[in-house]
Amino acid sequence: MEVLWFAPRQLGASASSRQTWWCTARAESQISTTSILPLPGVQADKRGVKVSEFLQSVSNPAVYAAGDAANIGMPKLTPVAAYGGGIVAANLLKGNHRKVENVPVPTVAFTVPPLAAVGMNEDSATKQGLRFRVHQEDTANWYSSKRVAEDCSGFKVLIDEGN
Ligand SMILES: Cc1cc2nc3c(=O)[nH]c(=O)nc-3n(C[C@H](O)[C@H](O)[C@H](O)COP(=O)(O)OP(=O)(O)OC[C@H]3O[C@@H](n4cnc5c(N)ncnc54)[C@H](O)[C@@H]3O)c2cc1C
C-alpha cells in the first residue's frame, strides 16, 4: 500500500487509488449531538461518534472512528486510541473483521499519593448484582511505602465468587 499525503496548498492535485480515506479529528466539544459536518448522518453524542463493534459509524457506513472521537464506552486515553486505531485500519483494509473488545483499561492519577485502578469498582459490581468478596489492606507499613515516606497507602481487590 502506498500512502499519499496532500497538504492544504496542494488542493488542485489529483491521484487515482483503490481506496481513499479522509482522515480528520474533532475535539469532543465540536462534535454536535446530531451530526458531524460535513459528513451527513453521522450520529454522535458528547462521548463521540456512535460506532458498532467494528468502530464503524452506526449511521454512515463510510465513516469509522477511533480514539477520543469514538464513543466506545472506554476511557479516553492514549493506549485506547492506539488500540482503536489498529482496529479501524484493519477493517478499512480487509473489511469488517476486527471487533473492539471490552478489555479492562488501567487508569492512574499521578497525585500524591497516586491512585490507580483496573476493572470494575465495588459500586458497579454491587449494582450488577455480582457475588464478590473484598480484600483490602492498609499498606502504609510496607517497605514500598516507607521507602518513599508515604504514610497513606493501601489497596482493595474485588474477588468474584463466581469464578
Ligand atoms: C491534559 C491532558 C492530559 C492527558 N493525560 C493522559 C495520560 O496521562 N495518559 C493517557 O493515556 N491519556 C492522557 N490524555 C488523553 C490522551 O491525550 C487522548 O486520549 C489521546 O491523545 C487521544 O488520541 P486521538 O488520536 O484520538 O486524538 P488526539 O491525540 O487529540 O489527535 C487528534 C489530532 O487531530 C488533529 N486535528 C483536529 N482537528 C483536525 C482537522 N479538522 N483536520 C485534521 N486534523 C485535525 C489534532 O491537531 C490532533 O493532532 C490526556 C489528555 C489531556 C488533554
pLDDT digits (tens, 9 = 90+) for 72-122: 988 889 999 999 999 999 999 999 999 999 888 899 999 988 999 999 899
Domain endpoint, select from 66, 94, 122 = 94
| Joined grid coordinates for residue 150 | 508515604
Ligand 1 center–CA 9 separation, angstroms: 25
Contact 61, 14 (CB under 8 A): no
Domain hosting 154: range is 107-160
C-alpha–C-alpha distance, residues 75 and 105, integer Å = 7
Residue 50 lies in a domain: yes
- Cite the DSSP H helix spans in the chain: 78-94, 122-127, 143-146
The per-residue pLDDT for range 18-41, each reduced to its tens digit, is 887 877 776 444 555 444 455 667
* Ligand 1 atom nearest to CA at 79: 11
pLDDT value, residue 127: 95
Q: Are 111 and 149 members of one domain?
A: yes
Name the residue at shortest CA distance from atom 33 of ligand 1. 25
C-alpha–C-alpha distance, residues 148 and 119, integer Å = 27
C-alpha–C-alpha distance, residues 88 and 98, integer Å = 8
The residue that leads in pLDDT, 16 or 143, is 143
Q: Are 126 and 68 members of one domain?
A: no
Longest dimension (CA), the chain: 68
Cα dihedral 90/1/24/65 (nearest 10): -10
Domain endpoint, select from 72, 94, 116 = 94
Name the residue at shortest CA distance from atom 12 of ligand 1. 77
Residues with CB under 6 A from ligand 1: 24-26, 67-69, 76-79, 81
pLDDT value, residue 56: 96
Q: Are 42 and 87 members of one domain?
A: yes
Ligand 1 center–CA 120 separation, angstroms: 25
Name the residue at shortest CA distance from atom 24 of ligand 1. 67
Three-state secondary structure call for residue 160: strand
Q: Mean pLDDT, the chain, as a whole number?
A: 86
Number of domains comprising the chain = 2
Residues forming a β-bridge with 133: 159
pLDDT value, residue 31: 52
pLDDT band at 5 (very low <50, low <70, confident <90, very high): confident
Q: Are 70 and 124 members of one domain?
A: no
The residue that leads in pLDDT, 161 or 26, is 161
Name the residue at shortest CA distance from atom 8 of ligand 1. 77
